[in-house]
């Protein structure tokens, strides 16, 4: 068979964000690995032809069978992985029975276990030999031979879909995931296991990473696979590191080279670079909505002007809901807020007493129903004209989480300058520099303005996160927990006019920094474990688990 360059398939737009500017990184046997300039996705471009890919897969199969120790190790690993996946799926889904589909089921290792655990199983597999083996090994399960789109499965049939080490082989991940969504029941769960290009093994060995090879067409990291899942109509997305799992291809190469090599637990841990995704099919709104959260406490001078500006504000292609959380002000803000109670686009939440800004924002987040969330203070320090620029990366899928930076780019003179209070300005700016450096060092970031109020993110980012900070330390908590969940914040410069303390700035200059330090240390030590939270939600009761924000009062103000 002859392969000319014409056989290769060129990718015209990024699988994640549809961007078209690609950076060349390096080549794998005359195929280029490129990075999308907009969202950072790595992929092969051009992709090998269908014939070339089929040839590679045949080669792999015959090698494995000739080499007995390799064959044995590989089946062992597969069985271990299957057991682990099944247990994790149970934790996320909360139920042990129903209809389960595995796409790319091979000779049925996972399906056999799933069948034994009580699932009614269906497998889809492209290799005819593997299909035959799987059919022989299963008791009642069904195997469909071919690619997913060729098998024409009926819509809304399955409670669970499992895709293990497959999404990186798929030509168009978004099209593939939409097809999966079609065959899942409403509320159905999708599980994906795939190598992570931001695992530390990948970052350490860079382009020698064993996953860089011709049959792997796309190299996802935690952030951009979440974005594709979001775009395909999945929500309640969480990622778990696949620590217990082996990097399958690495073992394969290793055992080929050292046939008597024993796979020790330590070795397993070191070469594990997989990640696991869990998400649900949910009903999607006809048009996406932005939830603007406005915490308001003693802001009577600016509140009405802000509300009028917000109600006039239009963001192209987005509906807007405004959630005002009024914390029982004493200066007339409550009366001003009550005027908007009946407004169709406004949800008014009245707190019986002020419990801190962080607490008010958390209350607002729980009431939000939009696809995207923006937090807007009731003062006018920030400019509503910036909304469009901040939301653009979310809407196009270039980012999940955007920070409006007051100190970015050409805006250096936008640092705090309170007229006639030079000493205070200096102190506040030093504090800003100190805490920024501290956050960047502790959490491996390169942020310029982590304290900005302008945080815009997909609401789904909050799924299975618990919050407990009530004051300004909530800003850190939100930022750090989102980073911990695998999202990379993107900073964009915004217009900003600083208020002085006389004008009503509510940061308490000596007490709050101490709360922040305490919060940062606590957050650095805390383990963010969304799966644990999902487990708790499943135990709490039936029904689709919603956004979870804890109501623990850790530091009453
Ligand atoms: Zn992209």
CA dihedral for 92, 98, 104, 109, sign (positive or negative) = positive
Q: CA 458 to CA 438: how far, in whole Å? A: 26
Question: How remote is the CA of residue 3 from the centroid of ligand 1, in Å?
Answer: 29
User: What one-character-per-residue DSSP string does 300-350 give?
Assistant: HHHHHHHHHHHHH---TT-EEEEEEEE---SSSHHHHHHTTTT-TTEEEEE
Question: How remote is the CA of residue 19 from the centroid of ligand 1, in Å?
Answer: 5
Output b/e per residue, 74-111; b: 16+ Cβ within 10 A: beebbeebbeebbebbeebbbeeeebbbbbbbbbbbbb
β-strands 274-281, 158-164: how paired? unpaired
Q: Are 151 and 144 in contact (CB under 8 A)?
A: yes
Residues β-bridged to residue 123: 102, 143
C-alpha dist (Å) from residue 403 to 38, 361, 393, 489, 529: 16, 16, 11, 7, 24
Which residues contact residue 417 at a Cβ distance below 8 angstroms, ignoring those fewer than 6 apart? 425, 498
Q: Are 536 and 451 in contact (CB under 8 A)?
A: no
Q: Are 110 and 86 in contact (CB under 8 A)?
A: yes
Question: How remote is the CA of residue 38 from the centroid of ligand 1, in Å?
Answer: 5
pLDDT at 69: 65
β-strands 142-145, 119-125: how paired? parallel
Question: How remote is the CA of residue 483 from the centroid of ligand 1, in Å?
Answer: 20
CA-based max dimension of the chain = 84
Question: How remote is the CA of residue 393 from the centroid of ligand 1, in Å?
Answer: 11
Question: How remote is the CA of residue 513 from the centroid of ligand 1, in Å?
Answer: 38
pLDDT at 421: 60
Output b/e per residue, 52-72; b: 16+ Cβ within 10 A: bbebeeeeeeeebeebeebee
Question: How remote is the CA of residue 369 from the centroid of ligand 1, in Å?
Answer: 27
User: What one-character-per-residue DSSP string does 365-420 give?
Assistant: HHH--SSEEEE--SSSSB-GGGHHHHHHHHHHTS-SEEEEESS-TT-GGGS---TT
Q: Are 1 and 51 in contact (CB under 8 A)?
A: yes
CB atoms < 10 A from the CB of 527, how many?
Answer: 6
| CA-based nearest residue to 326, from 367, 369, 373, 274 | 367
pLDDT at 548: 42
Question: How remote is the CA of residue 477 from the centroid of ligand 1, in Å?
Answer: 28
For residue 148, whether the previous peptide bond is cis, meaning omega lies within 30 degrees of 0, is no
pLDDT in tens, the chain (557 residues): 344 445 788 889 998 898 999 989 888 878 888 999 988 899 988 888 888 887 777 766 655 555 666 666 777 777 888 888 999 999 999 887 899 999 999 889 999 999 999 999 999 999 899 999 999 999 999 999 999 999 999 999 999 999 998 999 899 999 999 999 999 999 999 999 988 877 766 666 666 666 777 778 899 988 899 999 999 999 999 998 875 555 555 566 655 555 544 555 555 555 557 889 999 999 888 889 999 999 999 999 999 999 999 999 998 889 999 999 999 999 999 999 999 999 999 999 999 999 999 999 999 999 999 999 999 888 766 678 889 999 999 998 888 999 988 765 444 444 455 555 666 677 667 777 888 888 888 888 888 888 787 899 999 999 999 998 888 788 888 999 998 888 989 998 877 665 555 555 555 556 677 877 887 888 888 888 888 899 888 888 654 444 444 333 334 33
Q: Are 148 and 176 in contact (CB under 8 A)?
A: yes
Q: Which residues crowd ion ligand 1, with CB under 5 Å?
A: 14, 16-17, 19, 36, 38-39, 41
Q: Is 49-281 CATH 3.40.50.150?
A: yes
Q: Are 333 and 306 in contact (CB under 8 A)?
A: no
Question: How remote is the CA of residue 22 from the centroid of ligand 1, in Å?
Answer: 8
Q: CA 219 to CA 314: how far, in whole Å? A: 37
Distance of CA 491 to the CA centre of its chain: 17
Question: How remote is the CA of residue 17 from the centroid of ligand 1, in Å?
Answer: 4
| CA-based nearest residue to 156, from 323, 281, 286, 27 | 281
Location of each CATH 3.40.50.150 domain in the chain: 49-281
Tokens found for residue 452: 């900005």
pLDDT at 360: 95
Region of 52 (left: φ > 0; alpha: ψ -120 to 50; beta: rest) is alpha
DSSP label of 15? T
Q: CA 506 to CA 297: how far, in whole Å? A: 10
Q: CA 548 to CA 275: how far, in whole Å? A: 23
Question: How remote is the CA of residue 37 from the centroid of ligand 1, in Å?
Answer: 7
The secondary structure element, H or E, covering residue 103 is strand 98-103
Question: How remote is the CA of residue 168 from the centroid of ligand 1, in Å?
Answer: 15
Location of each CATH 3.90.550.10 domain in the chain: 289-540
The secondary structure element, H or E, covering residue 476 is helix 473-484
Where are the alpha helices (H) located in 100-158, listed in sequence order? Answer: 109-116, 128-137, 148-151
| CA-based nearest residue to 309, from 279, 334, 340, 331 | 340
Which residues contact residue 149 at a Cβ distance below 8 angstroms, ignoring those fewer than 6 apart? 179
**Reading across the β-sheet that carries 218-219, which strands appear in turn?**
22-28, 31-36, 42-44, 218-219
Helix, coil or strand: residue 437 = helix
pLDDT at 411: 41
CB atoms < 10 A from the CB of 521, how many?
Answer: 12
**Reading across the β-sheet that carries 346-350, which strands appear in turn?**
346-350, 319-326, 289-296, 372-375, 455-458, 401-405, 490-493
Architecture of domain 289-540 in CATH? Answer: Alpha-Beta Complex (3.90)
Output b/e per residue, 195-217; b: 16+ Cβ within 10 A: bbbbbebbeeeeeebbbbebbbb
Question: How remote is the CA of residue 220 from the centroid of ligand 1, in Å?
Answer: 11
Residues β-bridged to residue 457: 373, 401
The secondary structure element, H or E, covering residue 76 is helix 68-93
Question: How remote is the CA of residue 451 from the centroid of ligand 1, in Å?
Answer: 27
CB atoms < 10 A from the CB of 478, how many?
Answer: 23
Taking the model in full, what pTM does it have?
0.85
């Amino acid at each position: 068979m002859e392969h000319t360059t014409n056989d290769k398939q060129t990718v015209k737009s990024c699988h994640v964000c549809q961007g078209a500017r690609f950076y060349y990184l390096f080549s794998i046997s005359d195929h280029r690995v490129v990075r999308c300039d907009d969202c950072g996705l790595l992929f092969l471009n051009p992709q090998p032809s269908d014939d070339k890919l089929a040839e590679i897969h045949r080669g792999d199969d015959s090698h494995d069978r000739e080499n007995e120790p390799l064959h044995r190790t590989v089946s062992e690993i597969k069985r271990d992985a299957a057991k682990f996946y099944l247990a994790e799926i149970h934790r996320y889904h909360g139920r042990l029975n129903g209809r389960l589909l595995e796409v790319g089921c091979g000779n049925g290792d996972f399906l056999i276990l799933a069948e034994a655990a009580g699932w009614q199983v269906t497998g889809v597999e492209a290799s005819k030999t593997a299909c035959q083996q799987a059919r022989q090994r299963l008791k009642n399960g069904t195997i469909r031979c071919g690619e997913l789109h060729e098998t024409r499965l009926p819509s809304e049939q399955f409670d669970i879909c499992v895709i293990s080490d497959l999404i990186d082989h798929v030509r168009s991940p978004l099209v593939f995931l939409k097809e999966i969504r079609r065959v899942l029941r409403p509320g159905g769960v999708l599980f994906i296991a795939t190598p992570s290009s931001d695992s530390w093994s990948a970052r350490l060995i860079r382009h020698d990473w064993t996953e860089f090879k011709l049959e792997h067409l796309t190299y996802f990291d935690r952030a951009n696979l979440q974005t594709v899942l979001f775009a395909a109509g999945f929500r309640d997305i969480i990622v778990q590191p696949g620590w217990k799992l082996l990097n399958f291809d690495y073992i394969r190469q290793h055992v080929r080279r050292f046939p008597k090599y024993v796979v020790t637990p330590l070795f397993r841990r070191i070469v594990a670079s997989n990640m696991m995704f869990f998400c649900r099919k949910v009903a999607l709104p006809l048009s996406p909505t932005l939830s603007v959260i406005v915490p308001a406490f003693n802001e009577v001078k600016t509140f009405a002007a802000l509300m009028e500006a917000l109600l006039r504000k239009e963001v192209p292609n987005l509906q807007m809901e405004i959630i005002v959380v009024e914390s029982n002000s004493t200066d007339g803000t409550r009366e001003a807020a009550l005027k908007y109670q009946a407004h169709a686009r406004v949800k008014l939440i009245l707190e019986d007493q002020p419990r801190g800004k962080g607490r008010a924002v958390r209350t607002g987040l729980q009431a939000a129903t939009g696809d995207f969330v923006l937090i807007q203070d009731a003062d006018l320090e920030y400019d509503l004209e910036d909304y469009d620029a901040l939301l653009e990366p979310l809407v196009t899928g270039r980012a999940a989480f955007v920070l409006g930076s007051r100190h970015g780019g050409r805006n250096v003179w936008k640092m705090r300058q309170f007229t006639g209070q030079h000493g205070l300005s200096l102190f506040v700016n030093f504090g800003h520099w100190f805490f920024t450096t501290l956050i960047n060092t502790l959490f491996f970031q390169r942020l310029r303005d982590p304290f900005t109020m302008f945080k815009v993110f997909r609401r789904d980012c909050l799924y299975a996160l618990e919050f407990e900070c009530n004051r300004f330390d909530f800003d850190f908590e939100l930022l750090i927990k989102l980073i911990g969940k695998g999202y990379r914040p993107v900073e964009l410069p915004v217009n900003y006019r600083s208020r002085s303390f006389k004008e009503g700035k509510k940061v308490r200059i000596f007490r709050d920094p101490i709360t922040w330090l305490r919060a940062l240390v606590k957050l650095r030590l805390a383990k963010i474990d969304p799966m644990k939270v999902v487990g708790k939600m499943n135990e709490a009761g039936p029904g689709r688990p919603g956004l979870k924000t804890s109501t623990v009062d850790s530091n009453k103000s």
